[in-house]
Amino acid sequence: MIGRISRTTAALVVFVVSVFPVYWMVLTAFKPTRDIQSATPTFFPTSITFEHFGTAVAAKGFFSFWRNSLLVAGGAVLLALLVALLAAFAVARLRWKGRKAFVLMVFVAQMTPWEALLIPIYVIARDTGMLDTLWMLTLVYFMMTLPFTIVTLRGFLAAIPVDLEEAAQVDGCSRGEAFRKVVFPLLAPGLLATSLFGFITAWNEFAFANVLIIKNQDDRTLPVWLSSFQNTFGTDWGATMAASTLFMVPVLLIFVVLQGRVTTGIVGGAVKG
């Protein structure tokens, strides 16, 4: 009995500690300014306002930062899917010399300490005139997500029995047709899951966006904009929290879409938000 009560208490403590910061962010975003600034904070919504969301959306450049983030993350993911699908097919379906070495290379590439490459990539971007362009950022994010995309797609592909493809080929399909008509539909959920995880990585990335977009402030992405919230909102914490909440919404939606896959993904140890 005592054991059960202490377990329940512990569970509630863990729940509150993990949820509270996010709860507080959303709550502050909806609170009227006088509640935010009152000496005793209110822990439950009493009256709700959309004023702060209005301030955040009306902030200069808000929509272009959204567009930039979407473009960069979306472009990176599409590129990665395309390139990774080819490589994953070669690894999962074909036998060739150097296959093991290639897989090892992908695993090593996945552990790249990108933080150590900030300086050379800045220098390379500057030398090639790619500084202050969203293209450079897209390429970097593409490379960040590529190894992980190959590894997961290879896993998904390996799970689809080769027999299906061979049966289609026996029935007169070419190899390309067999892939398109039989494997691809089965692979679609895997493609979706993989690309959404890649999207989150690119969506959240800050360090390179901060270094590669300097002069052209309109080309910044959301994380960089949000990190300098004091320049935009000063001490308007309501608007800051509203902007944070809006920034988090797509990520949260993706997690809801992937709910079943999330745990398998993390157990694979392949990603971290």
Partner 1 sequence: MTLVAERPVRETAPAAPKRRRRPVLPYLLIAPTLLTTAYLLVYPLVRNVVISLQEFGLPQLVRGDAKFVGFANYVRVLNDPEFWGVVRRTLWFTAINVVLIMVLSTLVALLLVRLGRWLRFLVMGGLVLTWATPVIAATTVFQWLFQSRLGVVNWALVELGFEQYRDYTWFADGEATFGILVTLIVWQSVPFAALSLYAAMTTVPQELYEAARIDGAGAWRVFSTITFPMLRAMFGLITCLEVIWVVKAFVQIWVISQGGPGQATTTLPVYAFQVAQSLQRYDLGAAVSMLMVLLLVLALLAYFRQLYRQEQEA
Query: Distance (Å, rounded) from C-alpha 180 to C-alpha 89?
Result: 12
For position 50 contacting partner 1 by CB under 8 A, the verdict is: no
For 206, other C-beta atoms within 10 Å of its C-beta total 13
The answer to whether 227 and 189 are in contact (CB under 8 A) is: no
Pick out residues in 137-196 that bind partner 1 (CB under 8 A). Answer: 139-140, 142-143, 146, 150, 165-166, 169-170, 175
Binder to partner 1 among 1, 5, 21, 215 (CB under 8 A)? 21
Which one of the spans 34-42, 65-73, 151-159, 188-196 is the region binding partner 1 (CB under 8 A)?
34-42
For position 47 contacting partner 1 by CB under 8 A, the verdict is: no
For position 66 contacting partner 1 by CB under 8 A, the verdict is: no
Q: How far is the CB of 202 from partner 1 (least distance, A)?
A: 11
For position 248 contacting partner 1 by CB under 8 A, the verdict is: yes
Binder to partner 1 among 49, 64, 204, 217 (CB under 8 A)? 204
Binder to partner 1 among 61, 74, 155, 223 (CB under 8 A)? 223
Binder to partner 1 among 55, 68, 194, 240 (CB under 8 A)? 240
Query: Distance (Å, rounded) from C-alpha 221 to C-alpha 201?
Result: 13
Our CB check for partner 1 shows the closer of 40 and 46 to be 40
Binder to partner 1 among 196, 213, 247, 261 (CB under 8 A)? 247
**DSSP letters spanning 191-232:** HHHHHHHHHHHHHH--HHHHHH--S-GGG--HHHHHHTHHHH
For position 211 contacting partner 1 by CB under 8 A, the verdict is: yes
Our CB check for partner 1 shows the closer of 58 and 115 to be 115
Binding mask 81-120 for partner 1 (x = CB under 8 A): -xxx-xx-xxx--xxx--x--x--xxx-x-xxxxxxxxxx
For position 36 contacting partner 1 by CB under 8 A, the verdict is: yes
Q: How far is the CB of 103 from partner 1 (least distance, A)?
A: 10
Query: Distance (Å, rounded) from C-alpha 221 to C-alpha 134?
Result: 9
Our CB check for partner 1 shows the closer of 64 and 210 to be 210
Q: How far is it between the farthest Cα atoms of the chain?
A: 76
Q: Which of 144, 119, 136 is nearest to 68 (CA)?
A: 136
Pick out residues in 67-86 that bind partner 1 (CB under 8 A). Answer: 82-84, 86
Q: How far is the CB of 50 from partner 1 (least distance, A)?
A: 19
Q: How far is the CB of 260 from partner 1 (least distance, A)?
A: 12
